[in-house]
Structure 1
Amino acid sequence: MPETPSDASPRHVFTPSSLNRLARDLIEDALGSIWIEGELSNVARPASGHLYFTLKDSAAQVRCAMFKPRSTWLPFRPVDGMHVLVRARASVYEARGEFQVVAEHMELAGEGALRREYEALKARLEAAGLFDPARKRPLPARPQRIGVITSPSGAAVRDVLHVLARRFPLVDVEILPVPVQGREAPPAIVAMLRAASAAARHDVLLLARGGGSLEDLWAFNDEGVAHAIAASAIPVVSAIGHETDFTIADFVADLRAATPSAAAERLVPDRDELARHLAGHLAWLGSRMKRRLEASSQRLDHLHARLQAQRPSARLARGARQLDEVQARLLRAIEAASRRVRVRLDGSGARMRAAHPRKRLDEATRRGTLARRALEQATLLGLDRRRRHLAELARTLHAVSPLATLSRGYAILLEPETRRVVRGIGEVRAAGRVTALLGDGEIALRTDTD
């Protein structure tokens, strides 16, 4: 007999949407963020800007979606047949109940592997101290001979030679040919670095190559090349690729230049600047020589004057002048002594006249008169000061006097017999009398306490 809902056992019933949500949550929690490598197919980019594609291998395929804005950040244009590496999260498209992968990042599979190898080598060499700035050596200010380790047929060597010839044609440039791409490039670069270091013929080595992809520049991400640069007895400048390209050789080298042309600019001075510097030195040298000649000429004139001064006639003339000067000083001394004696005599006479008794009596009389006048003036000033002080005290006393208050219209109540001041109603007797003291007299008042 078929089972009816009324007698069925308890169960959990899903709707399609709830089941899809449950499946989505289970898949996302179980897998999280994953990496998937495969071949692109059915690539579509509708007007919405989202990217839809299928990732497949020889046995299976999976539908994928990459939504904006991540789909617009890709550094390349995905097309069918491209081998890629995708970081994504697995999920369920609830509207159709289909398993799908939501991509968050995409890169070319080969380049991605190289990039991971590059980062691992970089971390290992940095930990070993090959990137330490303390081990980098300064470059010579004016190198005499430069060794350029590069391909003799590449564009990089032409750029380097052109810049060096333009800036400093006196420098000796030697091309040390090596392959800069392919499997044979790393061992050839290592061998050339070791040979140049052992020969010690160059002041600086320039390791150069033009731009290219990560695979094209891979020879300069070789661990052997890095150790050869670090072990070189000659400073090494790295100029690999374009300005945005960084290789392991750039980090190990004593100096990294953005491009080969920029490296050539850094290695040698500018001949125009040297010419200006030399012109400045020549001008300074000419000025110094001119000053030396002028000083020598002045010294020669001084010596000539001294020689002329040593002649007998000059010495006799000088003695005559000295005798005249001594006689003149003697006459001036006699005159000065005579003046001093006359001054002393005049002073003694003045002192004697000043010490006469009549003079002293007149002076004492004058001082007595002045003292009397000063005493009289001081007495008058003292009396005036005391009068003003007394008036000020009178004004102050009048200001606090009760009479001053009464003159402004107030009255003071007194008991008639005792003349005590009445200070409250309670002190006024029933049907009694009080005296009102006013400013100009008294008034007898009768009180009514009712």
Structure 2
Amino acid sequence: MDIYTVTRLNREVRSLIEANLSTVWVRGEISNLARPRSGHIYFSLKDEDSQVRCALFRMQGMRLAFAPEDGMEVLAHARPGLYLPRGDFQLIVEHLEQAGEGALRRAFEVLKKKLADQGLFDAAHKKPLPVIPNRIGVITSPSGAAIRDILAVLQRRFPGIPVLIYPVPVQGTEAAPAIARALDVADERRECDVLILARGGGSLEDLWAFNEEIVAHAIHRCAIPIISAIGHEIDVTIADFVADRRAPTPSAAAELVVPDRWEYQRRFDALDHRLLSLMRHHLREQHQALAWLERRLIHPRRRLSDDTQRLDDLMGRLIRCTHTFAAPRRNRLARSMAELYRHDPSARLRVHGAHRRQLAQRLSLAARRYLGEHGSRIASLGRALDAINPRQTLERGYAIVTRQSDGAIVRGPEAVSEGQLLRVRLAKGTLLCSVLRAGAEEAEERQR
């Protein structure tokens, strides 16, 4: 018989639990909540028939979006286990959320990804806010705290700007269609320069109307700039992603939509003072420049008199310079003309012309004498050349015989063979012949 110790039994039971149940989702109501100084949270989850101990350690507890309380219904994502020292079955909680919010958060993430893929969150679609709007539209509940906060801030920062309220329910099943209609109406009427979409704080379920796709598309197609101011700073909705600007609270939205009038007035006064100072400085500089020009300005009659005297002086100097400059040059020109007449080239040209004609006559006589002396010799050489001209030999009945194959001249029968083709050039044309017999004529002469 195998007998277990308590520790061994607890360990094996824990091993069986951990092997068969890794993590589970458990829904239940919180009870017996305890927060020791360690920062861990211990509580029980119960339903109508049972309960189970739970431990939420400090690091996981710091990531909670809410403060757990007794009586709160929650969804716990936990690892089943066994606490060995006491043998207590318990859940080690890794994530805790309020019941009902888990499905909403998953739906939120799905819609967020879908709209992001469609481009509704792109920065290119964001419209700039007017510096000072002529009229502000607020889409919210007319009886909520959000509208009171917005009006109070607007009155404090920039009183006198008209505010148009588009009343809508901000919670419940009818809220999303009503908000979308109000956005379309405001866009169609174009009564306002900017819109504030506002609601006070609440749970994810309370704010769900601002996470509906119909509201997101209405914001996206609206041509008027929209500031979203939904809940508190930690609350983020789909409307915040689509809107042109997001404000953490309705009051912050009012501060975004208008500047501080008194600060604006102070800046305007400072700019006005600076502009006046610049204008005074500019006028002072212009006055000084005008006075300087006035001192330099000369009366036209005095200016004309001075210029006349200066012109007379220049004319006198010009005449004197002309005489001084021209006299020696006239003398030099006269001397040059005399030299030119003395060395007139026409006489020299006449002498050279006669000499040239004499040389031409001598050259002509020498050429005729040379041609006469050498003419007879040239004729004799021509006759000798004609005597040895092959064409003259051919005219006398002779022929030039060449081999057809290589063009060599045939000087005797030993240079050919029977059947070989020969080309015979005559005085008037050529013959193509075939050798029938070589050396036959010499043999026949010997026989005779």
Counterpart-to-counterpart distance in 2, 1:208 and 1:266: 13
Tell me the equivalent position of 2:312: 323
Deviates more, 1:248-257 or 1:315-324: 315-324
After TM superposition, list the pairs within 5 Å mapping 1:208-287 onto structure 2: 208-275=198-265, 276-277=267-268, 280=271, 283-284=274-275, 287=278
1:49 Cα deviation after fit: 5.9
SS of aligned partner of 1:197: helix
Counterpart-to-counterpart distance in 1, 2:202 and 2:65: 15
Counterpart-to-counterpart distance in 1, 2:127 and 2:109: 25
Counterpart-to-counterpart distance in 2, 1:91 and 1:146: 59
SS of aligned partner of 1:227: helix
1:37 Cα deviation after fit: 0.4
Deviates more, 1:282-291 or 1:83-92: 282-291
1:221 Cα deviation after fit: 1.8
After TM superposition, list the pairs within 5 Å mapping 1:10-409 onto structure 2: 14-44=4-34, 50-68=40-58, 70=60, 78-169=68-159, 171-275=161-265, 276-277=267-268, 280=271, 283-284=274-275, 287-288=278-279, 291=282, 308-309=299-300, 311=301, 315-316=304-305, 318-324=307-313
Counterpart-to-counterpart distance in 1, 2:63 and 2:122: 34
Counterpart-to-counterpart distance in 2, 1:208 and 1:214: 15
**Matched letter for residue 149 of structure 1:** I
Deviates more, 1:39-48 or 1:246-255: 39-48
1:185 Cα deviation after fit: 2.0
Counterpart-to-counterpart distance in 1, 2:99 and 2:83: 26
Q: Deviations over 1:214-273 (max 9, x none)?
A: 333222222211111111121211112222221111111011112222222222233345
**CA distance 1:283–1:155, shift in 2 (3 Å):** same
TM-score, normalising length from structure 1? 0.60
Counterpart-to-counterpart distance in 2, 1:52 and 1:34: 18
**CA distance 1:297–1:125, shift in 2 (3 Å):** same
Deviates more, 1:286-295 or 1:97-106: 286-295
Deviates more, 1:108-117 or 1:189-198: 108-117
**CA distance 1:45–1:267, shift in 2 (3 Å):** closer
**CA distance 1:132–1:30, shift in 2 (3 Å):** farther
TM-score, normalising length from structure 2? 0.60
**CA distance 1:81–1:315, shift in 2 (3 Å):** closer
1:331 Cα deviation after fit: 9.2
Percent of matched pairs sharing the same residue: 53
**Matched letter for residue 244 of structure 2:** D
Counterpart-to-counterpart distance in 1, 2:272 and 2:113: 50
1:125 Cα deviation after fit: 2.2
Deviates more, 1:220-229 or 1:94-103: 94-103
1:118 Cα deviation after fit: 2.6
**CA distance 1:103–1:305, shift in 2 (3 Å):** closer
SS of aligned partner of 2:248: coil
**CA distance 1:306–1:98, shift in 2 (3 Å):** closer
1:36 Cα deviation after fit: 0.5
**Matched letter for residue 304 of structure 2:** R
Counterpart-to-counterpart distance in 2, 1:246 and 1:160: 19
Deviates more, 1:255-264 or 1:104-113: 104-113
Q: Deviations over 1:338-368 (max 9, x none)?
A: xxxxxxxxxxxxxxxxxxxxxxxxxxxxxxx
Counterpart-to-counterpart distance in 2, 1:120 and 1:32: 27
Higher-Rg structure is 2
Gaps of 5+ in 1: 6-11, 336-450
Counterpart-to-counterpart distance in 2, 1:77 and 1:305: 88
**Matched letter for residue 102 of structure 1:** I
SS of aligned partner of 2:54: strand
Gaps of 5+ in 2: 325-448
1:288 Cα deviation after fit: 4.9
Counterpart-to-counterpart distance in 2, 1:270 and 1:46: 48
**CA distance 1:163–1:55, shift in 2 (3 Å):** closer
Q: What number of residue pairs does the alignment pair up?
A: 325
